[in-house]
Structure 1
Amino acid sequence: MEYKIASHIAEMKPSAIREIFKVLADPKVIALSAGEPDAASLPKEEMAEIGAEIFANEAAAALQYGMTEGYQPLRDLTKKRMREKYNIGTDDDELIITTGGQQTISLFTQTMIDKGDTIICEGPSFIGALNAFRSFGANLKSVPMDDEGMRMDKLEEVLATTERVKFIYVIPTFQNPTGRTMSLERRRQLLELAKKYDVLILEDNPYFELRYEGEPVPTIKSMDTEGRVVYAGSYSKVLSPGMRIGYCIANKEIINRMVVCKQVSDVHTNLYFQMLVAKYLERFDLDAHIADMCKLHKEKRDAMLNACEKYFDKRVTYTHPNGGLFIWCELPEGYDSFKLCQLITEKKVACVPGNAFSVDESAVCNGFRMNFSKPSLEQIETACARIGEAMQEFLK
């Protein structure tokens, strides 16, 4: 039988990262392709203690349906923490618990985008977001970055010459895939441009608490006085990726519409894990836990930067992120990182080629992404040595 797949889905390609996971079936392959924290940093003992108590005392509640908006204690605790600690959220805002930060991106796009509308994003940008935008028939426009993040001069050029722009998508802090952080001045300029051209901003901020050095930069949402910024947050990078607990803070009107979309998607996020996170926040010190995570991940980041300096061809540049999970490498202009990543795979190391993060996946990209949080210190050293060998062969 011939299946007539919807045109906007038929044109989509599987996530390059998920395809790379197939290579990882070989236990000898060192994965620098992940996007998750070190498993040793996850609070397993605390979660086990809380989980046992939930099933001993509140099993009926944990195993039943819940509210689409989310488990109320978790919503209240998240609102309180984000408002008091980071000045995120106003009296006109509301919060919904989502199934990971990815669902915030999907629900907001579903809420706002008609087929043919335009979304502006950083170039390069997060694969999951790009595919979510494509799945709803959006046109994508990318804006180049430098060490301070998205270039505002180029952004205004796109805004001034592009029709039907609905929102600008940014990952301003420890960006995926580059690890870069948008400067405070750029954040202010971004908000002013959004006001000038009357578009929304989707601020995706899953990594911002994983800071290893430097001073924190205020979120764009914390500077928003018009309800123009939609904030996507997540507990994935600080508690557990597998629990899939995210949240969105936005104007009540937007949240109400997203609730309707969620009701026809998954009804509500896993209630047991919502309860688990809420009770963790009540009982334990999340900030102290994050501080411990940062010590562990900083050691790995430093090890990878040292290994890059030691093994990589001097013509190859790479970012020096102050936090997050990723380092972005760039070959000299004209070289295709996809071909290099194929060669790296032959040496039993997995990286993600830059074209996977591009609006035009078929275009040649000279960048590739490496993750330092998942591999061990020994694996980081070995992997970078192998990548260095591949570079020498490839750059001949």
Structure 2
Amino acid sequence: MSAANAPGVLSMAGGIPAPDSFPVARLAEVTDRILSRSAAAALQYASTAGVPAMREAVARRAGETGAPVGPERAMVTGGSQQGLDLVARTLLDEGDLVALDDPSYLGAVQSFRGAGARLLPLPTDRDGMRTDVLAERLAAGARPKLVYVVPHFHNPTGGVLTTERRRDLAALADRYGFLIVEDDPYGDLAFDGERLPSTDVHGDRVIRLMSLSKTLCPGFRVAGLTAPAGLIGELVAAKQSSDLQTNTFGQHVLAELLGDPAFLPAHLARLRTLYGGKARATAALLRERLPWLAFDDPRGGLFFWCSVDDPRVTSDLLYAHALAQGLALVPGAPFCIEQDGSRLLRLSFATLDEEQRREGVSRLATAFDKARADAH
């Protein structure tokens, strides 16, 4: 991220939402209203589990996108990454096994390893985690405590876990006793507007991490988490010893914004149009200028997951030359656990405008030519 923020560098690296996606005018209205009506509460300490109105908003959104959940099973976290960290620190002991896609979200890999867990990498494809392979590993004796999934527009691969695989995953959780950690920051960013229900409609052994960073804004660091009733108290206690509470003011602002039933559908429709247009324009440009780059068109989310179709050029070499040209991207290897990521890379299409997009792709074309020359 530091390289991506350097002067003159165009970034196709981080999963950063487009600044013009933020609902600035509505946030300004709500902020003024809160400061004039309830400033004392919004600027004060709050419950570790979250401001009641925000817990209700989390529970309401969980029910709209999955199984019904009461606010007593919801809590507010400082971004979904904190939710992931709380789950890892609370539920995992040294040596416990966690199953996850390979490749997988780097923040999850780091959290699980930081908690002392062993990782069970599973193959993944366009339809998400290969639950048939998970079933084989379980039948052979593997006993994960957690199975981690990004069900929509997986980071980095872009896969979407199918309804059949969600059903299979829930059935395996019931049979073998593991918990499913469903991390879903991109579910509302389907370009066609279609969103599959959470895995929790198929079983009750699901912890949901519900980010608002990609759909509203990341600056408030406010996210939701829902969990089975027997776990939520442990997670709240772990949060209390970590940071006491999540940003009170941000909770008040977002709870009021989400309390307007007309706001979110219209806002999400605008985001799908915005990011869908960026993805299509980027795909056309990549195919026109970079015939050596292979990828599937994104169906949602913020990324292209690409492979370099030249055995002489690794993604690390391409990354170094791209940075020298003033373009930041992410090589594939850090996402990979056992899979060979040496010719994979992730490109974000979210933040560049049309002029920057053309310039970025031009810099990537130059970087490839220099990397290929170096490889001889």
After TM superposition, the score normalised by the length of structure 2 is: 0.92
Which is worse superposed, 99-108 or 186-195?
A: 186-195
Q: CA shift at 1:36, angstroms?
A: 2.0
Q: What secondary structure does 1:141 align onto?
A: strand
Report the CA distance between 1:300 and its aligned residue.
0.6
Residues 214 and 263 of structure 1, relative CA distance in 2, 3 Å threshold: closer
* Aligned counterpart in structure 1 of residue 279 of structure 2, from 301, 314, 324: 301
In structure 2, how many angstroms separate the alpha carbons of the residues matched to 1:159 and 1:346? 46
Partner Cα distance (2:46, 2:241) in 1: 14
| 1:355 corresponds to 2:352 | no
Q: Distance in 1 between matches of 2:287 and 2:193?
A: 21
Q: Quote the residue 2:289 is aligned against.
A: 311
Query: For 1:85-140, what per-residue CA distance to the aligned partner results, in whole angstroms no more than 9, with x for missing partners?
Result: 22333469710111111111111111110011111111111111111111111111
Residue in 2 aligned with 1:45? Answer: 25
Aligned to 2:144: 165
Q: Which amino acid aligns with 2:257?
A: Y
Query: 1:218 Cα shift?
Result: 2.3
1:390 corresponds in structure 2 to 367
**Alpha-carbon deviation of 1:388?**
2.7
Q: Which amino acid aligns with 1:304?
A: T
Structure 1 residues 40 and 89, CA, compared in 2 at 3 Å: closer, same or farther? same
The reply to whether residue 55 of structure 1 matches residue 32 of structure 2 is: no
Please list every run of at least 4 consecutive aligned residues from structure 1 whose deviation after the TM superposition is greater than 6 angstroms.
none
* Pair 1:36-2:16 in alignment: yes
Residue 261 (structure 1) aligns with? 238
CA distance in 2: counterparts of 1:305 and 1:357, whole angstroms: 22
Q: 1:272 aligns with which of 230, 246, 249?
A: 249
Q: Aligned equivalents of 1:73 and 1:215: distance in 2? A: 28
CA spacing shift, 1:26–1:87, aligned 2, 3 Å: closer
Choose 168-177 or 149-158, whichever is displaced more.
149-158
In 2: Cα distance, 1:93 partner to 1:311 partner:
53
Residue 17 of structure 1 corresponds to none
Q: Secondary structure at the match of 1:173?
A: coil
Residue matched to 2:187: 208
Shift of 1:184: 1.7
Tell me how far 1:33 sits from its aligned partner. Answer: 0.8
Root mean square deviation of aligned Cα: 2.1
The residue that corresponds to 1:321 in the other structure is 298
- 1:251-278: CA deviations, max 9, x gaps? 1111111011001011111000000001
SS at match of 1:165: coil
Q: Which residue of 1 aligns with 2:342?
A: 365
Aligned counterpart, 1:155: 134
Partner of 1:117: 96
- Residues 283-324 of structure 1: per-residue CA shift (max 9 Å, x gap): 45111011111111111111111111111134x311212111
The SS at the match of 1:243 is coil
* Aligned partner of residue 259 in structure 2, secondary structure: helix
Report deviation, 1:54: 2.0
Q: Distance in 2 between matches of 1:215 and 1:44?
A: 26
SS in 2 for 1:209: helix
Contact 2:66–2:199 (Cα < 8 Å) also in 1: no
Q: CA deviation at 1:153?
A: 3.1
User: Alignment partner of 2:2: what SS?
Assistant: helix
CA distance in structure 1 between the partners assigned to 2:361 and 2:139 by the alignment: 43
User: Following TM superposition, by how much is the alpha carbon of 1:333 offset from its aligned partner in structure 2, in angstroms?
Assistant: 8.1
Cα distance in structure 2, aligned partners of 1:69 and 1:247: 10
1:71 aligns with 2:51: yes
User: In structure 1, what is the Cα distance between the partners aligned to 2:141 and 2:116?
Assistant: 16
Q: 2:354 aligns with which of 363, 369, 377?
A: 377
TM-score normalised by length of structure 1: 0.88
* Cα displacement (A) at 1:196: 3.0
The answer for the alignment partner of 1:22 in structure 2 is 2
2:81 aligned with 1:102, yes or no? yes
SS at match of 1:119: strand
Mapping 1:97-246, distance limit 5 Å: 97-161=76-140, 163-213=142-192, 215-224=194-203, 227-246=204-223
For structure 1, the residue ranges without an aligned partner over 5 or more in a row are 1-20
The more displaced of 248-257 and 327-336 is 327-336
Q: Which amino acid aligns with 1:46?
A: R
Alpha-carbon spacing, 1:209–1:25, altered in 2? closer, same or farther (3 Å): closer
